[in-house]
Structure 1
Amino acid sequence: MHSTAKLFAALLLLAGSRLALAVNPSADIDALVHSAAAEVMQQHQIPGLAIAITAQGQQRFYNYGVASRQTGQPISSDTLFEIGSISKTFTATLATYAQAKGQLSLDDKVGKYLPELQGSPFAEVTLINLATHTAGGFPLQVPDAVHNTAQLMDYLKAWQPQYPAGSQRTYANPSIGMLGVIVARSLHVPYAHALEQQLFPALAMPNSYLQVPANKQALYAQGYSKDDAPVRLNPGVLAAEAYGVKTSARDLLHFVEAQLGQAELEPALKQALSATRTGYFTLGAMTQDLIWEQYNYPIALDALLQGNSSQMAYQSHAVSALQPPLPAQDAVWVNKTGSTNGFGAYVAFVPAKQIGIVLLANRNYPNEDRVRLAYRILSALE
């Protein structure tokens, strides 16, 4: 009987250890992240990669390689990366924040806020169209001939839509950039002030900037082009509003956790974050929110790859309007890619599972491989 009791106790201990491993598989997740990161870094010759994960309120940070090949400074969770078009999610958040405080309405037309454009087709576009890439067919970038605000307004006065507003999704910087201009006007402050002095502090993101200050330059990673040349962002007109943010894995993960409802926020900001995940249009498996793109969860990897493909970024696609718009959902995969010439970023989260991931690299590598990396890791976290 004594031996039997010992055996029974040993079996209980073994079962308990297996249960603990199943509940908190830290070693398995660490090994998976290390392996997956090594593969993508080797494949694309990425100098430095920061990965940040949140799972049921627990944070994990993984840092690989160097912020600069010249200095050999290692990547950290506070290294600053250019996040490209993920910046657009902050422009959308500023817009919904202003709306929550009664300072604008996304249902309004552009002409209400930019009276100098009254009489032009652009004046008839709604702010929702600006934030969903459905304004009518802007080019991806502001034209090279536009160097200042006066030239930008002349360009917008002359702009002629290719499609009726709300009928086609054409991914573009000018439209979301102009939403940022309108938000700043409605708040009566410059856009940089609204972002750096109002939104980032409210989101508890102290290490996020449009212009990296002198005392933070040491944290600013060196980007590397496809030709492996050192490069950093050379901002043009509407860069701040469309692709100009520099931030860290730690700060960006906190933004993800705020989206997951894990942060203490004032009611207006909490409402604003939820509003950015309102669905307005559908395109295949993807629902277009305010900049964010979402997919019903669970979602197949192939659908995510299609939704984040170059074809989606560079071509126009017919969309179907959701009437009424779809309120923020929990059982969805929400994501956004971002790139500059020397950096590649990706953010994804699943509210229903309370999981999310941030990928920041100081090299621009294909969106599809960012999605594969995130999908592999988040699938394991389930």
Structure 2
Amino acid sequence: MAKDRIPGMAVGIAVGGTAYVLNYGVASRETRRPVTRDTLFEIGSITKSFTATLTAYAQRRGYLSLSETTSKVLPQLRGTDFGNVRLLALATHTPGGLPLQVPDNVGNDEQLIAYLREWHPADAPGTYRTYSNVGIGTLGLIAARSMGGDFAALMGERVFSALGMTNSFIALPAAKAARYAQGYTGRDAPTRLATGELWPEAYGIRTSAADMIRFVEANMDEIALDPTLRQAIRDTHVGYFRTRAMTQDLIWEQYPFPVELATLLDGNSPASIYDPTPVTRIAPPQAPLRNAWLNKTGSTNGFGAYVAFVPAKRMGIVILANKSYAIADRVTTAHAILTALGVRH
């Protein structure tokens, strides 16, 4: 916190079937309100792991199949390159090169469809991993439409509520506004979530460390769940592509455990976000591994987050901060803590 001038942090730890939440600093420099287990943080792209979970749930319930093309649910895309993209490609960042951000001239679903109709892949699908809000955001839109509902409402009902995450939101209720931490940019300017097309599906969740560590426990099969949801969560741990550093699951990024810090830093480097990365398809897909390190980073202009867990060791960590700071610092901190826990347990 001192190194990166972070006002407040909440850290969730799960180890051996017990969860802990440790709170540090303030939720706002202006009010000096302390961080608590209920303080709400923006988790940025960790939202994508929830979107993948809802999609896997939709598949388990028979609403869609990851082997289907986007045009199955969005018929307006029939006969286009994007219409031929399979849903699995959107969940693994491998459709052939979508931009990281939604273009500035796309502000609603109609404009998104128009943009996607004109899109052409830069590479053959399944040959490069290109990290994208557009891909996973559109997958969330497709999952919700296949289920005949609104994405935020479905996420609240089928995922948050089912997991016992009572302090997690896309649309923030007015009654919960006082729990919402103030975010700060790298230059310490106050800021909050910037919304836009596909923001709920790609980076829109506000949640607490207490709720997030429960999500980690669910991903380690540590809590009782509806069987369909439990299997959907397991489905997000299937490995589909390998890069130099890691295996790409449904949004989750996976490493064999134990894993060296240098490998994690490589897999979570800026290049993994901004540059196309060659991938090798895993055929057949790799079944979920318990002796693996799964992780995801999340950033907005004013918040930085990281989640990692090792099911075989029954340990996981969530680090939430109301400051946009270096991903390398998040990964290094988590690796040190989980390494120490792994030695002791």
Q: TM-score, normalised by structure 1?
A: 0.89
Give the aligned residue type for 1:242. A
Aligned position for 1:17? none
Give the aligned residue type for 2:286. L
Please say if residues 93 and 135 of structure 2, whose CA atoms lie closer than 8 Å, have aligned partners that are also in contact. Answer: yes
Aligned position for 1:250? 210
Matched, 1:87 2:47: yes
**What whole-Å deviation, never above 9, does each CA across 1:231-282 have from its counterpart, x for those lacking one?**
0001110000000000000000000000111111011001000000000000
Q: 2-side partners of 1:261 and 1:150: how far apart? A: 39
Equivalent residue runs for 1:94-243 within 5 Å: 94-243=54-203
Matched, 1:337 2:297: yes
Give the aligned residue type for 1:79. T
Aligned position for 1:15? none
Q: 2-side partners of 1:227 and 1:379: how far apart? A: 31
Alignment gaps of 5+ in structure 1: 1-40
Secondary structure of the corresponding residue to residue 61 of structure 1: strand
Q: 1-side partners of 2:301 and 2:142: how far apart? A: 27
**What whole-Å deviation, never above 9, does each CA across 1:53-98 have from its counterpart, x for those lacking one?**
0101112221110000111110011100000000000100001001
Q: Percent identity?
A: 53
Please say if residues 167 and 211 of structure 2, whose CA atoms lie closer than 8 Å, have aligned partners that are also in contact. Answer: yes
Q: 2-side partners of 1:302 and 1:197: how far apart? A: 39
Q: 1-side partners of 2:45 and 2:172: how far apart? A: 17
Aligned position for 1:307? 267
Q: CA RMSD in A?
A: 0.6
**What whole-Å deviation, never above 9, does each CA across 1:283-312 have from its counterpart, x for those lacking one?**
013000000000000111000000000011
Greater helix share, structure number:
1
Q: 1-side partners of 2:46 and 2:80: how far apart? A: 30
Alignment gaps of 5+ in structure 2: none
Secondary structure of the corresponding residue to residue 90 of structure 2: helix
Matched, 1:381 2:341: yes
Equivalent residue runs for 1:268-307 within 5 Å: 268-307=228-267
Secondary structure of the corresponding residue to residue 379 of structure 1: helix
Aligned position for 1:27? none
Q: 2-side partners of 1:280 and 1:203: how far apart? A: 26
Aligned position for 1:51? 11
Please say if residues 240 and 248 of structure 2, whose CA atoms lie closer than 8 Å, have aligned partners that are also in contact. Answer: yes
Secondary structure of the corresponding residue to residue 235 of structure 2: helix
Q: 2-side partners of 1:340 and 1:246: how far apart? A: 11
Cα shift at 1:197? 2.4
Q: After TM superposition, what 4+ stretches of structure 1 lie above 6 angstroms from structure 2?
A: none
Please say if residues 127 and 280 of structure 2, whose CA atoms lie closer than 8 Å, have aligned partners that are also in contact. Answer: yes
